[in-house]
Amino acid sequence: MINVSYKALAVIAAASLSLGGCTSETGSDASAANSSDQQSAADTFYASLMALCGKAYAGKLTSSDPQDSDFAGANMVMHVAACDVEQIAIPFHVEMPGGTAGTAWNRSRTWVIHHTENGLSLHHVHRHEDGEEDRVSRYGGTVADAGQATRQEFPVDQFSIDLFNANDLAASVTNIWAVDVNDTQFAYELKREGRFFRVEFDLTKPVEAPPPPWGETIPTL
């Protein structure tokens, strides 16, 4: 992967919008306009993430589901570790109970966001400490609508539904993930009926970048 500046992406997005502006307002152009709106929101959202490339930020759990008790009060860091115009990889590190010191950093998770002509997608890569990929990995979803420049939601995709069913995780087949990003905050969210998980990160205070996620290299899809 390569690091691409916010300015470079802004130029790409501006060119795309400029070309879209040449379309007339008649006939089937309403459909084209909707597509343009979706792409515009996606471009702005993605550019905001690109602007964070290379930086890391501390965060905290802000939801209260009992099954997330290990995350409550835990130190956590998200690192926008690798970026290009099609994909951004964001390892998520959490200091969990365990280890000889009483806690140990779990570096198993990486969020991967893709930007394509069909919209944005979010997927999750999970690896064990020895680098081997977990059998439940690469699941996620693709946007179903234009979303917002500061928030995108990702309903579960068919690949993930099949993966969950094959691994006795039927409760997850209605998952909807979301990512929020603005000038001061990045948030990752999971929701379904009876389930809500959310972590928030302070973008006003960068922290030291953590070690690489388990597996040494940044995952790609």
The conformation of residue 70, written as its DSSP 8-state character, comes to G
pLDDT at residue number 117: 81
E-state strands within 98-171: 103-116, 119-126, 139-142, 151-155
CA–CA separation, 125 and 146 (whole Å):
25
pLDDT band for 118, please (50, 70, 90 cuts).
confident
Which pLDDT score is estimated for 136?
98
Q: What is the mean pLDDT of residues 22-44?
A: 61
Quick one: pLDDT at residue 220?
63
Q: Which helix (H) or strand (E) holds 178?
A: strand 176-181
Domain count, the chain: 1
Higher pLDDT, 110 or 18: 110
Q: pLDDT tier at 129 (50, 70, 90 boundaries)? A: very high
Q: pLDDT tens across 83-109, in order?
A: 999 999 999 999 988 766 678 999 999
The pLDDT > 70 percentage for the chain reads: 79
As a whole number of angstroms, the distance between CA 135 and CA 140 comes to 14
Other C-beta atoms closer than 10 Å to the C-beta of 79 total: 25
Regarding pTM above 0.85, the answer is no
At 219, the pLDDT band (50, 70, 90 cuts) reads: low
Examine the pLDDT at 14 and tell me if it is beyond 80: no
Q: Residue 211: give the domain boundaries.
A: 1-221
Question: Residue 100's pLDDT is what?
Answer: 67
**Cα–Cα–Cα angle for 88, 89, 90, rounded to 5 degrees:** 120
DSSP state of 196: E
User: Among candidates 173, 179, 171, 177, which has minimal Cα distance to 191?
Assistant: 177
Question: Residue 155: is its pLDDT beyond 90?
Answer: yes
DSSP character at residue 218: P
Residue 84: predicted pLDDT: 95
* Three-state DSSP state, 60: strand
Residue 15 pLDDT > 70, yes or no? Answer: no
DSSP classification of residue 133: B
pLDDT of residue 116: 84
Tell me, what's the pLDDT at 8?
A: 38
What would the pLDDT profile of 35-54 be if each residue is shown by its tens digit?
566 678 999 999 999 999 99
Determine the Cα–Cα distance for residues 58 and 171; give it in Å rounded to an integer.
Answer: 30
